[in-house]
Amino acid sequence: MKIQLRKRLGDLLVEEGIVSEEQIQQALNAQRSTGQKLGDALIDLGFITEKQMLDFLSQQLGLPLIDLGRAPVDAE
């Protein structure tokens, strides 16, 4: 599934069943008062975990999710 540039993150998350419309509205209200990004508001409100958000964005963008804590580091 590739990202559709005209669709908003909230709409995509609802379509995938990850969050509800009500949760998006609550996050949008929080976003207006805090100025934070929608994804951060959803995470802060406990509607989605950071891992879920990263997995979702990775899938939507067709990019692998890389855990830098587990990535091999060249000694040089």
Q: Where are the domains of the chain?
A: 16-61
pLDDT score of 3: 54
pLDDT score of 36: 95
What is the value of pTM for the model shown? 0.77
39 CB contacts (<8 Å, ≥6 apart)? 9, 48, 53, 57
pLDDT in single tens digits along all 76 residues of the chain: 555 556 788 999 999 999 999 999 999 999 999 999 999 999 999 999 999 999 999 988 888 888 888 878 787 7
pLDDT score of 5: 53
